[in-house]
Amino acid sequence: MSGTSFVPPPQDAWLRTYHKLLPHWQSYSIPHSPQSTIPITISRVNQIDAARLDIEMSAMLKEQLVKVFSLMKPGMLFQYEAELDAFLEFLIWRFSIWVDKPTPGISLMNLRYRDERAVETRGKVRTGLEGPGLTVAQKLWYCVTTVGGQYIWARLQSFSAFRRWGDSEQRPLARRAWILIQRIEGFYKAASFGNLLIFLYTGKYRNLIERALRARLVYGSPNMNRAVSFEYMNRQLVWNEFSEMLLLLLPLLNSSSLKNFLHPFSEDKSSSSAEDDSACPICQASPCTPFLALPCEHRYCYYCLRTRCAAVPSFRCLRCNEPVIAMQRHGGVTNPAPK
Contact 289, 303 (CB under 8 A): yes
Please list the residues that pair with 291 across neighbouring strands.
300, 329
DSSP-based three-state secondary structure for 235: helix
Name the residue type at position 156: L
Distance CA 47, CA 225 (A): 13
For the purposes of burial, counting CB atoms within 10 Å of the CB of 68, is it exposed (0-12), middle (13-18) or buried (19 or more)?
exposed
Q: What is the DSSP string of 165-205?
A: TTSTTS-HHHHHHHHHHHHHHHHHHHHHHHHHHHHHHH---
Please list the residues that pair with 218 across neighbouring strands.
112
Contact 109, 46 (CB under 8 A): yes
CA distances from residue 105 to 46, 48, 84 in whole angstroms, order as listed: 9, 10, 20
Please list the residues that pair with 293 across neighbouring strands.
298, 327
Q: How many of the other CB atoms lie within 10 Å of CB of 326?
A: 13
Domain boundaries defined on the chain: 40-223, 290-329
pTM: 0.57
Name the residue type at position 280: C
What residues contact 95, with CB distance under 8 A and at least 6 apart?
101
Contact 226, 219 (CB under 8 A): no
Instruction: Give the pLDDT of residue 75.
Output: 67
Dihedral over alpha carbons 143, 148, 153, 158 (to 10 degrees)? 140
Distance CA 19, CA 254 (A): 95
The pLDDT averaged over each successive group of 10 residues in the chain (339 residues) is 63 76 65 54 87 88 82 73 90 92 89 84 60 90 92 86 70 82 91 94 92 91 65 72 78 62 56 59 80 84 82 80 81 56
Q: What is the DSSP string of 282-317?
A: TT-S--SSEEEEETTTEEEEHHHHHHHHHH-TT-B-
Short-list 282, 293, 339, 336, CA closest to 313 = 339
Q: What stretch of H or E contains 111? A: strand 111-115
Distance CA 23, CA 20 (A): 7
Contact 218, 129 (CB under 8 A): yes
DSSP-based three-state secondary structure for 126: coil
**Strand pairing class (290-294; 215-219):** unpaired
DSSP-derived letter for residue 263 is: G
C-alpha 276 chain-centroid distance: 48
Instruction: Give the pLDDT of residue 269.
Output: 45
Cα distance between the two ends of the chain: 131
Q: What stretch of H or E contains 216? A: strand 215-219
